[in-house]
Structure 1
Amino acid sequence: MYSSKADGYETPASGFPVSSANQFYPSVGGGAAAFNVQSQAKVAWSTGLCNCCDDKSNCCVTCCCPCITFGRIAEIVDRGSSSCGTSGALYALICFVTGCPWFYSCFYRSRMRSQYSLKKSPCNDCLLHFCCEHCALCQEYRELKRRGFDMTIGWQANVERQGQGVGTVPPPLQGEMSR
């Protein structure tokens, strides 16, 4: 099933990007207008890497069981195509087998930065997850939470709560004005 855009460009009706080189997402209002995420100016993260205690409950959960935090992040970043439980279990399995869960989680940070046009800071995503896995997960969790997601209810419930159709993106964080 395909949906037609106003300019004649056809994409699968799933709402997911068709290619990584040219990612189009439906506009917030659900109209035919689309925007290219990659052409937007990069914005800073809403909180610092070491502000883990800003959300004390998530800080404790991440410290004791980072697979839960990772699973919640992955479900939102994947736009519901993977469940929190599946992603968290895979994270735990990778941690148990290799002892290197950062190798898996750093790719989700990269995807998240790409989706929300976030700056690569303070360093490379894989290096950041290697050195500060728990802090990086907490920062990603806080970022999604500040963008309007209720991290405990999952993607589908967030979409329903926003009153939007499946596959649409909740409104972006309105921080500093930029051109």
Structure 2
Amino acid sequence: MVRPGLDQPNQAHPQGYGNNKADVQPNIPTAVITCIVPCVTFGQIAEIVDEGATTCAIGGLLYGAIFITAFPYKYSSLFRAKIRNKYGLPEAPAPDWLTHLFCEHCALCQEYRELKHRGFDPKIGWAMNVQAHQQEMMAPPIGQRMMG
């Protein structure tokens, strides 16, 4: 089943969301961490979305400070919008701020999963993701032969 919003089919997964077993099983550790300390998950998302300009620690601390003093959904929904704009995803089934207001933890888990689908591992940070992608690009092709 393809759901609107961040679970739309994408370039990284042309067949769409939910086509293999790993896609449909929830990431229990991420869900638990997000429920207990959402600032950790948010910090990881922020670092990837901002391409390292916002570190996990700074993003998490800002989120935590806002969580204690105000409404974190306003801040976290900005990063959801950045993900949507970056990958051309629709703002559906509800506006970003509304999704975060009523489903903050679920929205964070969904954004984390979307970044994973796009080939990022939010828990290792931006620099390690860049390094991993560079190593993948430098790996020689398998089964390549010279034709003469």
Q: TM-score, normalised by structure 2?
A: 0.75
- Tell me which of 76, 79, 90 is aligned to 2:62: 90
Q: CA offsets per residue over residues 24-49 of structure 1, 9 Å max, x none?
A: xxxxxxxxxxxxxxxxxx9826659x
1:129 matches 2:100: yes
Aligned length in residues: 120
Cα distance change of structure 1 residues 62 and 112 upon mapping to structure 2, 3 Å threshold: same
Q: Is the 8 A contact 2:7 2:17 kept in 1?
A: no
What is the CA–CA distance in structure 2 between the aligned matches of 1:162 and 1:106, rounded to whole Å?
27
What is the CA–CA distance in structure 2 between the aligned matches of 1:120 and 1:146, rounded to whole Å?
18
What is the CA–CA distance in structure 1 between the aligned matches of 2:114 and 2:90, rounded to whole Å?
12
Alignment partner, residue 48 of structure 2: 76
Q: Is the 8 A contact 1:43 1:117 kept in 2?
A: no
The ranges of structure 1 where at least 4 consecutive aligned residues each deviate by more than 4 angstroms after the TM superposition are 45-48
Identity %: 46
Higher strand share: 1
Q: Which residue identity is paired with 2:45?
A: I
Higher helix share: 2
Q: Which residue identity is paired with 1:137?
A: L
Alignment partner, residue 44 of structure 1: 8
Residue 121 (structure 1) shift: 1.4
Alignment partner, residue 54 of structure 1: 26
Q: CA offsets per residue over residues 110-164 of structure 1, 9 Å max, x none?
A: 0110001112111100011001000000000000011111111101110011117
The answer for unaligned runs of 5 or more in structure 2 is 1-5, 10-15, 136-148
What is the CA–CA distance in structure 1 between the aligned matches of 2:105 and 2:46, rounded to whole Å?
15
1:158 matches 2:122: no
Q: Which residue identity is paired with 1:136?
A: A
Q: Is the 8 A contact 2:52 2:126 kept in 1?
A: yes
1:120 matches 2:94: no
Q: Is the 8 A contact 1:80 1:155 kept in 2?
A: yes
What is the CA–CA distance in structure 1 between the aligned matches of 2:94 and 2:72, rounded to whole Å?
18
